[in-house]
Amino acid sequence: MTSARIEAATARESGTSTGLWVRRHANEVGLVGAILVLYVVLAPLAPNFLSSANQFNILRDAAFVGIIAWGMTLVLIAGEIDISVGANAAFSGVVLAMMIRNGVPIVLACILVILLGTAIGLGAGALRALFDIPSFIVTLALWLGLRGLAEVMSSAVPVVIPDISFQNLGGGNVGGVPNPAIFMVILLAIFIFISRRTVFGRSVYAVGGNAEAAKLSGIPVPLIRMGVFAITGCLASFAGVLFASRLGSGNSEAASGLEFDVIAAVVVGGTSLFGGRGSMIGTLLGVLFIAALGNGLVLMGVDPFMQNVVRGIVILVAVFVNIVSTKRLARAR
Amino acid sequence: MTAPSAPLIELSNATKRYPGVLALDDVDFRMAVGEVRALLGKNGAGKSTLIKVLGGTERLNEGALRVAGKEVDFRSPKDAIAHGIGTVHQELASVPAMSVAENISLGRWKTRPVTGIAWKEVSTDAEAALAHVGVELPLDAPLSTLSLAQAQLVEIARALSLGAKLLILDEPTSSLAVHEVDLLLQVVKRLSERGIGVIYISHRMDEIERLASSVTVMRDGRIVGELSAGEATPQRVVSLMVGSVDPGDPVEAIPTDAGDVALSVAGLTIPHRVLDATFEVREGEVVGLAGLLGSGRTEILRAIVGAQHGATGTISLGGKPLRRRSIRSTRAAGIFLTPEDRRAEGAVVMLGVDENLVMGNWKKVATAGVIRRERMRETVTATIKKLSIKVPRIDVEISTLSGGNQQKVVIGKALNTEPRVLLMDEPTRGVDVEAKAQIYTLIRRLAASGIGILVVSSETEELLQVCDRILVLRSGRIHENLPIRDVTRDALFEHMIRKETDD
């Protein structure tokens, strides 16, 4: 019986190298297909959808989601969730603008804000890791608190950043490629490396896949959990800095709902909400899919409320497919 | 058969097959009204299958089940309950946050139109059910505030309130503290006096002697003995359970005038589980820790690596007491545990063999936190070769491997931490015969290389085959320290199940 099982397993793993590659990356291949379908459908329906200017728009939209999504992928792989990222980004923008207005040099202000955002994430992670408060609750509280704090600090009015040149950081481009997209790609490379090649990254998978086994193996489970929240905190505040730069002001209402776009993109990208499974490339495709879908719906002139309906359905279908396939895999073994 | 003497339940020519295994092989089994039957057998003897069939979670391939003379076919636990058969599993099926009363009528709460659940009736019903069991418990208290024994009584009360005539108790005392056992035994006694039949799975001879009117022993899917309480001496029970299977020769009886003391445990106490355990393991020695389920064997291993809450006592490695006891610090000192449940604690099944192998010691393959692929491949390939793990690729998901190969990966992970002492909890659970033999040889080889090894196993044959010395754990205390040449299989089993008064 056992040898038969091994043979079956071997058979599953063998086959042509292309076939093997496709099977092991079924999720990514499927997403590329979904994006192609989306482009084929949107190209004739949405005016100017394929123009290079619009493609760069899609990239810019994708960037704000993508930058945070890399960290969110690790959070979900670790079996956690962080819904505070949008509020953290808005809060960071407001703090940044107020610092600059009070004479703090821009570069220093940016660094301080990102450190603050990282510390906030680390604190949330500590509450989860050391006191077992569910990460959903911790970050829900942060989501409320940070947005509220930003509103109090700015009286809910945009805090204008006087230095016009600062707007280049988030609003400029290099040869037509928006700066945020460049940051997104650089960070993607870093996070692919972290997730595949570092002890920290692989420990995230181990903790999310089986926290008990990780603990008994001597992996510092609490530190890993704190680490992933520190990362989303850091990335959220960085995205907040880019937002503030692009808008030329710190806005307490900025990035509203961003957390849901980010989580949706990660989940559409095939990362398991139960932890242990997921990839940065999958998330990249999820981010592009969500950005292109949103952009296309706008260009088609779909009613904004209806857009939300469509996005909701798409996210639901993606999660459905993800969970059904996970179960099927579990049964196959 | 005449009506008055119709048995409570009767199983005839019952056969149950799983792929490759005959779990029940033409079994005849019957229970009379009010009878307390002890059901014994080693792991895999068919006890679980038998109670699953009676409890409605498994269906027979062949044979018939009759309840009070009428043939029945249970398709779900619900059917079994409807016919008066209630099972209390080792894993309790209660809602910890709900009150005792709510748990007793779980899902069957009486309701009234408009006002909803009739709390008064829920309470009165619960009170009646508990009175039937013969205990008093605070009805409003959340179940989580009760002891495990009390929670068990709540489940018994629920089964009775559902009209159980036959109660199946699956190793009910295995996770109870010593002083809680009495309470449960009294309850069982009282129930049988009221005509309720009880099937009682346990291996503790003192409990069986106090309770059971008869004893059924299973082996290899068959019933190999039905004894009256008087006939069931430990010697008889053991020889029936063990049979005349050749235990196999000890694996290469490597001489054990082995080295210095590697691990020494002094006064290890875990509240309600283990009392004052003191022993040592020498370099190159394989020591077995034998004991029934619930004897505290797993807890001792977990306490040594710092994974057991509330444990006190001194653990020394190479004569030096460990000051801090956390999993990370004991691993760094050179103690590593391979846990009993591979899927839940041993391996991360979504990850590859390669990463599972190095997970306990990333330093071996990484510089400054960055994994060096070349070193990873070398380390992993070397480990795979050393343990002859069969894999199509080194990064294949561990879940696609056979149980034996998975277990070897878990052992490989331990070896990559370069341990001086290896603690192995059920090293061959769920592993086929061939892989078992390989793992035994491996254990001896590791010992020969100077590692001190402590093995916990519920299979006495296994301990007899690989160990140099066996410690016998009973009710949380280490009672015997037996050099392997002085112990036979039957004697070892007798030590494990012996009553305290025999000492």
Contacts of B432 in chain A (CB under 8 A): 1-2
Give the torsion sign (CA, A222, A227, A228, A230).
positive
Q: Is residue A150 part of a domain?
A: yes
Contacts of B349 in chain A (CB under 8 A): 209-210
Contacts of A328 in chain B (CB under 8 A): none
| Structure tokens given for B113 | 């139109």
CB B15 within 8 A of CB B63: yes
CB B449 within 8 A of CB B480: no
Q: Is A6 on the interface with B (CB under 8 A)?
A: yes
Question: Which chain B residue is nearest to residue A277, measuring alpha carbons?
Answer: B350
Query: What single-letter amino acid sits at B359?
Result: M
> Is B248-334+420-503 in the same CATH topology as B3-242?
yes
Q: Which residues contact B483 (CB under 8 A, 6 or more apart)?
A: B468, B469
Give the whole-angstrom CA distance, residue A87 versus residue B233: 72
Report how many domains make up chain A.
Answer: 1
The class that CATH gives domain B248-334+420-503 is alpha beta
Mean pLDDT of A135-144: 97
CB B262 within 8 A of CB B282: yes
Q: Is B75 on the interface with A (CB under 8 A)?
A: no
* Residue B387 burial (CB count, 10 A): 20
pTM for this structure?
0.82
Subunit contact B399:A333, Cβ cutoff 8 A: yes
Alpha carbon distances (Å) from A171 to A61, A107, A179, A252, A256: 12, 17, 7, 19, 19
DSSP string, B327-354: HHHHHHHTEEEE-S-IIIII--TTSBHH
The CA-to-CA distance between both ends of chain A, in Å, stands at 14
Q: Is A15 on the interface with B (CB under 8 A)?
A: no
Residues 19-38 of B with CB under 8 A from A: 19-20
Question: Which chain B residue is nearest to residue A77, measuring alpha carbons?
Answer: B350
CB B310 within 8 A of CB B274: no
Q: Which residues contact B344 (CB under 8 A, 6 or more apart)?
A: A210, A212, A213
Give the whole-angstrom CA distance, residue A13 versus residue B359: 23
Give the whole-angstrom CA distance, residue A289 versus residue A42: 12
Q: What is the CATH number of the domain that holds A280?
A: 1.10.3470
Question: Which chain B residue is nearest to residue A9, measuring alpha carbons?
Answer: B400
Subunit contact B331:A203, Cβ cutoff 8 A: no
Give the whole-angstrom CA distance, residue A27 versus residue A330: 16
What is the predicted pLDDT for the residue at B379?
Answer: 96
Best B400, B407, B422, B436 residue to mutate vs chain A (most A CBs within 10 Å): B400
Question: Which chain A residue is nearest to residue B396, measuring alpha carbons?
Answer: A13
Q: Is residue A193 part of a domain?
A: yes
* Residue A275 burial (CB count, 10 A): 21
CB A98 within 8 A of CB A104: no
Query: Please, where are the H alpha helices in B3-86?
Result: 47-55, 77-82
Question: Which chain A residue is nearest to residue B359, measuring alpha carbons?
Answer: A217
CB B353 within 8 A of CB B389: yes
Q: Is residue A129 part of a domain?
A: yes
What is the predicted pLDDT for the residue at A324?
Answer: 75
What is the predicted pLDDT for the residue at B181?
Answer: 85
Look up residue B319 and give its DSSP letter: T
Q: Is residue A121 part of a domain?
A: yes
Give the whole-angstrom CA distance, residue B463 versus residue A301: 74
Q: Which residues pair with B111 in a beta bridge?
A: B117
Distance from CA of B438 to the nearest CA of A (A): 15
CB B301 within 8 A of CB B322: no
Question: Which chain B residue is nearest to residue A24, measuring alpha carbons?
Answer: B396
CB A318 within 8 A of CB A326: no
Q: Is A53 on the interface with B (CB under 8 A)?
A: no
Q: What are the extents of the domains in chain B?
A: 3-242, 248-334+420-503, 348-418
CB B326 within 8 A of CB A219: no
Query: What single-letter amino acid sits at A319?
Result: V
Query: Please, where are the H alpha helices in chain A?
Result: 2-13, 17-24, 26-45, 52-77, 85-101, 106-131, 135-154, 167-171, 179-197, 199-209, 211-216, 221-247, 258-268, 280-299, 304-332
Contacts of B348 in chain A (CB under 8 A): 205-206, 209-210, 213-214, 276
Q: Give A3's pLDDT tier (boundaries 50, 70, 90).
A: very low
CB B417 within 8 A of CB B331: yes
Contacts of A206 in chain B (CB under 8 A): 348, 351, 355, 359
Q: Does domain B3-242 have CATH number 1.10.1840.10?
A: no
Give the whole-angstrom CA distance, residue B348 versus residue A182: 35
Q: Is A217 on the interface with B (CB under 8 A)?
A: yes
Question: Which of A96-105, A271-280, B210-219, B389-398: highest mean pLDDT?
Answer: A96-105
Q: Which residues contact B349 (CB under 8 A, 6 or more apart)?
A: A209, A210, B343, B397, B398, B399
Distance from CA of B304 to the nearest CA of A (A): 12
Element (H, E) at B356: helix B353-358
| Structure tokens given for B27 | 């079994």
Question: In tens digits, what is the pLDDT along chain B, a chain of 503 residues?
Answer: 444 567 899 999 999 998 777 889 999 999 999 899 999 988 778 898 999 999 999 999 999 999 999 999 999 989 999 999 999 988 788 888 899 999 998 888 888 888 888 888 899 999 999 998 888 899 999 998 888 888 999 999 999 999 999 999 998 887 777 778 888 999 999 999 999 999 999 888 888 888 899 999 999 899 999 999 888 888 888 888 877 655 555 555 555 556 899 999 999 999 888 999 999 999 999 999 998 877 889 999 999 999 998 999 999 999 999 988 899 999 999 999 999 988 889 999 889 999 999 999 999 999 999 999 999 999 999 999 999 999 999 999 898 888 899 999 999 999 999 999 999 999 998 888 888 889 999 999 999 999 999 999 988 888 999 999 999 998 888 998 998 888 888 888 888 887 655 44
Of chain A, the percentage scoring pLDDT greater than 70 comes to: 89
Give the whole-angstrom CA distance, residue B333 versus residue B315: 11
Instruction: Give pairs for B175-181: CB < 8 Å, separation 24+.
Output: B175/B90, B175/B148, B175/B294, B176/B148, B176/B149, B176/B152, B176/B294, B177/B147, B177/B148, B177/B149, B177/B272, B177/B273, B178/B272, B178/B475, B178/B476, B180/B147, B180/B148, B180/B149, B181/B149, B181/B207
Give the whole-angstrom CA distance, residue B15 versus residue B26: 5
Mean residue pLDDT of chain A comes to: 89
The range of the structural domain enclosing residue A183 comes to: 27-332
Q: Is residue A58 part of a domain?
A: yes
Q: Is residue A262 part of a domain?
A: yes
Question: Residue A121 above 90 pLDDT?
Answer: yes
Query: What single-letter amino acid sits at A329?
Result: L
